[in-house]
Chains A and B, each alone.
Chain A
C-alpha cells in the first residue's frame, strides 16, 4: 500500500472518493434496493396473511441440503431473478412517445437520488479516511438542491410518454414534490439554528455531545418524516403513480430496464431520505454509550460505526415500508392542504419558537 502514500494528496483524494462511490453505490445502495423490494413484498404478504415470494431457486440450491430450501422459502433469490428479468424483458418504446425525453427520463429519475447520498456521513473514519464521500460545508443545501432535481425525471417521463395517465402522473408529481420541498426545507432550519453549521458531520458531532435532535425538535422531525414520504412518492402520498387511478402514473409506458430505473430511483430516494433522517435526527453513526459517540480510532470501531449507521437507516426504511401497507392513499386536495396549510405554517412557527427560545437562552 506504499504506492498510495507516495501519491500527492489530490490524487489520493480522487482515488479514495472513487472507491467510496463504487462501494456505496454497488455494495450498499444496489443490494439494499434489491432486498428492500423483497422486504416490501414479504412484509406486505405477512400483513395480508399471505406467504410472499418463495419460489425462485437457482440451480445450485439443490446441492445445499437444509439451507437451500430455507433460503428459497425466504425468497432470497427473488431479487436476483427480478434483476435478471428487468434486463431480459423486451424494452418496448411505444410509437407515440417523444423518444429523446422518453429515454432521458429514467436516468434523470435515478441520478439525483444517488447524488444526494454523496454528503451523507455514513461512518466516522476508517483509517485516515472520513466516511463521507463529500464532506461539504453546505451539506444540507446541496441535498435540497439535488433532491429538487428529482422531480424532473418524473415530469419528463409523464410528458415524454404522451399518454394521459403518464401526463397526469407527471403533473401530480411536480406539484406534490415542489410543495413538500418547502415544508421539508423549513422544517430543518431550527436544527441548524441549534447546530450553527450546515455541515452534516458537524450536525452529528452536535448530537454526540448532547441529546439527539429528534428529542429537541420533535415537530421538525414529524414534518420532515411526512415530507420525506411525499418526496419519495411513497404511500400514503403515491399519487403520481396511483395504480388504481392512473394505471402506473408517470411510468405507465415504461418497460424492462427503463422501468426498473424508476424503481431503483424510488428506493434510492427512500435510502437517501432514511439516511438523511438518521443524520439529522438520530445521531448519525453515534450511539450515546460505550464510547461509540467519538470518531473511531481503530478499524473495528470504524466498521462498528458504519454498522450502527446502516442499522438505524434500515429501521427507518422498514418504517417506510410498513406505512405503505398501513395507510390508504390521500386525496389530492388533502395532500395539498396538509402541505401548504398545516406544515408550512407549523414549520414557520417552529422556526420562530426556536429562535425565541435561543434568544432567551443566550440573552441571559
Chain B
C-alpha cells in the first residue's frame, strides 16, 4: 500500500502549530488532573473495582439447591480448556457414586490450575450440567504453585450454590411415578 504524503503548508512545515496544539492538549490534561483532581486510574488495594454483572472471573464448581455436587465428571471442560488448566480424575467403576440420586457419576477429584486458567469461559459454556461458572473473583494469589491448583473441595466451597433445573431429580421423580419395572409376570 502506498500512502500519499500530504502536502504541508509553510506553517505546518514549521511544526510550530503542531507544537502549540501539543502543548495545549498536554496542559489541558495536566491542569485537569493537577488542579481539579480528576483522574482515570484507581488506587487499587484501597479502592476495589466494582465487578460488573457477567464478568468472567475465576471458574468455580457450584452445588445445586439441595447442596449436592452438580458435576458428573463428563470431562468436557477438561477437553475444551484451551490452556489445559482443568484436570478431572473420574470415579472409575468402583468409585463413590454421585451425591445426586440417579446421576451415577461424580468426579473423584477436580482440579483447576489457576495459574494456567485464562478465564475464557469455555468450561462454563460447554458444561451440560451447569456445574461450573466463571464467578467474580479476579485477584487470585498464592504463595506457591501448588497453592494455586484449586481442588474440588476448594472449588465447591468458593463456588456456592446455583439453583437450576434438577435434571436427574426430575428423571427420578418421573420414574417413581411409573409402575414398577420390570413388570413381574
Contact = CB atoms under 8 A, between A and B. Distances in A.
Interface of A: 43, 45-51, 54, 322, 325-327
Contact of B32 (A45, A49, A325): A49
Contact of B26 (A45, A54, A325): A325
B43 A51 contact: yes
A54 B38 CA distance: 16
Nearest to B32: A49
B128 interface: no
B30 interface: yes
A51 B39 contact: yes
Which of B19, B23, B39: most chain A CB closer than 10 A?
A: B39
B39 A50 contact: yes
Contacts of B29: 46-49
A54 B39 CA distance: 14
Given A45-B33, A49-B38, A322-B23, 4 more contacts: A46-B34, A48-B29, A49-B29, A49-B32
A48 B26 CA distance: 8
B19 A327 contact: yes
Interface string B23-57: 10110011011100011110100000000000000
A49 B26 CA distance: 10
A359 to B, nearest CB: 29
A327 B22 contact: yes
B67 to A, nearest CB: 45
Contacts of A54: 43
Which of A46, A54, A322, A325: most chain B CB closer than 10 A?
A: A46
Contacts of B25: 326
A46 B33 contact: yes
B41 to A, nearest CB: 5
Contacts of B38: 49
Interface size class of B (residues with CB under 8 A): 10 to 19
B22 A47 contact: no
B166 to A, nearest CB: 50
A325 B30 CA distance: 11
A81 B163 CA distance: 52
Majority secondary structure of chain B interface residues (helix, strand, loop or mixed) = helix
Contacts of B30: 43, 46-47
Majority secondary structure of chain A interface residues (helix, strand, loop or mixed) = loop
Given A46-B33, A47-B29, A326 B23 contact: yes
B34 A49 contact: no
B36 to A, nearest CB: 11
Contact of A50 (B22, B26, B41): B41
14 contacts: A46-B29, A47-B33, A49-B33, A49-B38, A50-B33, A50-B40, A50-B41, A51-B43, A54-B43, A322-B23, A322-B26, A326-B19, A326-B25, A326-B26
A267 B162 CA distance: 59
A132 to B, nearest CB: 34
Contacts of B32: 49
Contacts of A48: 29
B32 to A, nearest CB: 7
A49 B22 CA distance: 16
Contacts of A45: 33
8 closest A-B pairs by beta carbon, nearest first, are A46-B33, A326-B22, A49-B40, A46-B34, A46-B30, A326-B26, A47-B26, A50-B41
A43 to B, nearest CB: 7
B22 to A, nearest CB: 4
A51 B34 contact: no
Contacts of A50: 33, 39-41
A43 B26 CA distance: 10
A49 B23 contact: no
Given A322-B26, A326-B26, A49 B19 contact: no
Contacts of B40: 49-50
A41 to B, nearest CB: 13
Contacts of B19: 326-327
A17 B39 CA distance: 48
Interface in B104-160: none
B146 to A, nearest CB: 27
A141 B33 CA distance: 44
Nearest to A48: B29
A49 B28 CA distance: 10
A112 to B, nearest CB: 30
B35 to A, nearest CB: 9
Contacts of A327: 19, 22
A327 B43 CA distance: 28
A287 to B, nearest CB: 26
A280 B148 CA distance: 62
A54 B41 CA distance: 13
B41 A51 contact: yes
B21 to A, nearest CB: 10
A51 B41 CA distance: 7
Nearest to B21: A326
Nearest to A55: B43
B15 to A, nearest CB: 9
